[in-house]
Amino acid sequence: MDMFFQLVINGLAVGCIYGLVALGFVLIYKAGEVVNFAQGELMMLGAFVAFTLIVDFNLNYWLGLALAVLAMAAFGWLLDSVVVRRIIGQPQFSTVMLTIGLGVMMRSGVSIVWGPETRSLSTPFDQMVFQVSGVMISPIYLSILITTVVLCAILALFFRFTRIGLAMQAASQNQLAAYCLGIRVKRVLSSVWALSAGVATIAGVLLAPISLIDVNMGAIGLKAFAAAVIGGFGSITGALLGGVLIGLIELFSAVYLPEGFKNVAAYVVLLAVLVVRPQGLFGTVGRKKV
Amino acid sequence: MRFIFKTHYDQDIDLFPHAGAVFWYSLLAIAAVCAPFFLDPFYLGELSFLFIWSLAGLSLMVLTGYTGLISIGHAAFIGVGAYVHAFLTRNGMPFVPSIICGGIVSALAGIIIAIPAIRMRGLYLAIATLAFSAIAEELFVRWETLTGGSRGVAVPMPVLFGNELDGEVGFYYLCLAVLVICILGVLNLLRSPTGRAWIAIRDSEIAAQSMGVYLAGYKTLAFATSAFLAGVAGGLLAHKVGYLTPDIFTPILSIQLLMLVMVGGLGSIRGAIFGAIFLVLLPTLIAILRDYLPNAIGQQPALEPGIFGLVLVLVVLLEPQGLNGAWMKVKFFFSQFPMYKNATFKRQKTYMRTERLQ
């Protein structure tokens, strides 16, 4: 039974990471209909930047994290305003290829600048261990859960009450109408990219204690992608829940199913969901109008 | 741009649009057949690699360039074909039936993927292929009787009509023959109602549907055809590399294939060949480039994927029609020589077209 709870906690934590990266996908997709296959790489880059600031420059953990988020937000903004914006209106295939290309470039750039070694990032709460009625809760996993919940609350408030958050919602519903209402749609789209890159950075830093920082961290992006699809692309809650679902399934299948299922569990679930409910668990059916 | 004066409906489905094309393609065919007489075996080997890449590119071109479906997991289809072909060849089956079986098994895999696709649009399909390739990759490692697991499996020489083919020349002709047969097959499909239905689906699913094109059926057919060709390419690749391990069929291969069709030029068979040429030449070019770069950057192993990514990004941004489009422009420039206008190929400003997944 203890193991069961342990798995639930760990699965939730890993799932939160998937959920956060998936959240970035969904934000960008909702805003500009660009499917960002480089989201995992943004996360990786964010983790590397944070590592450099915290370890190499010896900054305080929280200060380093904040600076990394800001730097990556600026990077996300530039990525949209310099590169991605140019292909709006092109077929979807172009956006897929563009973001795949950007992801490959980011990975190779990181490998050139930082080298291929793996790094570990120590957190201020490494040493503590909580024990709740026999279940050991590692503070790392707990920190992931808490940060995700807080971050989601902040995002919910942000979208609900701030001007820019409302503008983002408006632009994602109808760009032309938003434009007519005086919203600077281009700027809003860029800020969505900035927001998404910032969230990805936080996810990367949260992930760092679990799976070390290395160039292939971005592979998580694919699983997060599966999470976004399971949740119904376009629903923020769906993305988070999809992430949690995949995290739980993955850890449970690692323990209770034959070896090898851990790697494919996410994809099997994804295919099953696509067959049974193609619009995702939380999506709504839409008909394209001519 | 040459305007062809059509006097008969049959001209619409001619294999070659005009006599000039017949001439140049015959010249190319003669050159390809004669190549072993004056080329070094090393270059022949590279050429057979080029043919295999072209075949793989052709398979993705059918799917992506002509039907407008994206596959981010094409390596899996190549892998299925390669392993099945290797397995049958080891058990003594001759080349021709074995490679066809490999293609058919791969096509069945394609159909299985396409069945959920009947209900999916656009991107979900791409995601299904991604999931499939991840599962297939794991399967290649785990199914040891068929694939030899991560240790891999050796592939014997191809046996054609009772003779074992060894040496570069024989294999070169084999690849050339398979490629030509497949190109002719695809060309024939494309000028038939099937091909027209595919192109209609690519240009507008809704319009195609309202003209009576059975979307699910034709999409499945496109997947099956594409997977069949990929399986055949996989069979040839198995002989070419000689030893199959699961790490050949990674997502990197899928991305390279996508890049091949994108750089070559979507929606043209020539594009698949151009893309393959590019993909075979680029590593050599990068190796030359390394000498001119400062050591800190030039000697990095990560430089190559970086340049691949950069090329991909530049092509998407600057020349979405790829090398084939560039070729058309050059041709047009010379055929119109003093009258060439820059604006002819100017990209129209487009507004965002919604293909929202809801």
> Which residues in chain B are closer than 8 Å to A283, comparing Cβ atoms?
357-358
Contact: B312, A96; criterion CB under 8 Å = no
Chain A with chain B: Cβ pairs closer than 8 A: 159
Confidence of residue B181 (pLDDT cuts 50, 70, 90): very high
B246 lies in which domain range?
Answer: 39-344
β-partners of residue A136 are: A131
Q: Tell me whether residues A104 and B141 touch, CB distance under 8 A.
A: no
Side chain identity at residue A97, one-letter code: M
Tell whether the model's pLDDT for residue B343 goes beyond 90. Answer: no
Say how many CA atoms lie within 13 Å of A46 toward its Cβ: 34
B349 and A CB contact within 8 Å: yes
Task: Work out the minimum CA distance from A2 to partner chain B, whole angstroms.
Answer: 30
Q: Please give the Cα distance from A24 to A21 (Å, whole number).
A: 5
Q: For residues A209 and A207, give the distance between their C-alpha atoms in angstroms, rounded to a whole number.
A: 6
| Residue A39 located in a structural domain | yes
Tell me which residues of chain B, numbers 271 to 310, contact chain A at a CB-CB cutoff of 8 Å: 297, 300-306, 308-310
List of chain A residues whose C-beta atoms are within 8 Å of the C-beta of residue B142? 260
Look at residue B136 and tell me if it is in a domain.
yes
Q: Give Cα separations from B284 to A109, B289, B346 (angstroms).
A: 21, 9, 33
Identify the pLDDT of residue B120: 66
**Sequence-distant (≥ 6) Cβ neighbours of residue B225 within 8 angstroms:** B59, B62, B63, B107, B186, B189
| Residue B18 in tokens | 């005009």
| Tokens 């695809």, residue located | B186
Please count the structural domains in chain A. Answer: 1
- How confident is the model over B263-267, as a mean pLDDT? 87
Distance between B179 CA and the closest CA of chain A, angstroms = 26
Nearest to B358 among A88, A102, A279 (CB): A279
Residue B18 pLDDT > 50: yes
Interchain contact, A290 vs B206, CB within 8 Å: yes
Residue A143 DSSP symbol: H
* DSSP-based helix, strand, coil % in chain B, nearest 5: 75, 0, 25
- Among the ranges given (A38-47, A137-146, B195-204, B304-313), the one the predictor scored with the smallest mean pLDDT: A137-146
Partner-chain contact B303 A108, CB within 8 Å: yes
Give the model's pLDDT for residue A131. 67
Work out how many domains chain B is built from and give that number.
Answer: 1
What's B324's domain CATH number?
Answer: 1.10.3470
Count the residues in chain A. 290
C-beta of residue A41 within 8 angstroms of C-beta of residue A107? yes
Q: Is residue A286 part of a domain?
A: no
Domain holding A134: CATH number? 1.10.3470
Q: Is residue B353 part of a domain?
A: no
CA-CA distance, A164 to B221, in Å (whole number)? 47
Q: Is residue B167 part of a domain?
A: yes
pLDDT of residue B357: 46
CB distance A233–B354 less than 8 Å?
no
Residues spanned by the domain of A179: 2-276
pLDDT tens digits for range B89-123? 888 888 888 889 999 999 999 888 887 766 666 67
Weakest mean pLDDT among B17-31, B137-151, B227-241 = B137-151
Residue B66 lies in a domain: yes
B196/A186 Cα distance (integer angstroms): 38
Specify if A282 maps to a domain.
Answer: no
| Each residue's pLDDT expressed in tens, for chain A with a length of 290 residues | 677 877 888 888 888 888 888 888 888 888 877 888 888 899 999 999 998 888 888 888 888 889 999 999 999 999 999 988 888 777 777 888 899 899 989 988 888 888 777 777 777 766 666 666 666 677 778 888 888 889 888 988 998 899 998 998 888 888 888 888 888 888 998 999 999 999 999 988 888 888 778 888 878 888 888 888 888 777 788 888 888 888 888 888 887 777 777 778 888 888 888 777 777 777 665 554 44
Interface with B, mutate which of A104, A173, A249 (most B CBs under 10 A): A104
Any domain includes B349:
no
Which of the pair, B218 or A173, is modelled with greater confidence?
B218
pLDDT of residue B229: 95
Tell me which chain A residues have a C-beta less than 8 angstroms from the C-beta of B246: none
| Token pair in block for residue A18 | 């998937």
Looking up tokens 């936080």 gives A202
Residue-averaged pLDDT of chain B: 84
The contacts of residue A199 (CB under 8 Å, 6+ apart) are A20, A23, A24, A27, A151, A155
User: For position A289, what pLDDT does the model report?
Assistant: 46
Distance of CA A184 to the CA centre of its chain: 26
Please compute Rg for chain B using Cα positions. 21
Q: What are phi and psi of A114, to 5 degrees?
A: -100, -15
Tell the burial category of A170 from Cβ atoms under 10 Å away from its Cβ (0-12, 13-18, 19+): middle
What is the residue type of A76?
Answer: G
Distance CA B200, CA B317 (A): 25
Indicate the burial class of B250 (C-beta count within 10 angstroms; 0-12, 13-18, 19 or more). middle
Contacts of A88 in chain B (CB under 8 A): 350, 352
In a domain, B356, yes or no: no
CB-closest option in A29, A89, A107 to B353: A89
Q: Which B positions 98-137 lie with beta carbon below 8 A of chain A?
A: 115-116, 119-124, 126-128, 130-132, 134-135
Work out the angle at residue A165's Cα, subtended by the Cα atoms of residues A161 and A169, and round it to the nearest 5 degrees: 110
User: For the segment B182-193, what is each residue's pLDDT rounded down to a tens digit?
Assistant: 999 999 999 899
Instruction: Please check whether residue A77 lies inside any domain of the structure.
Output: yes
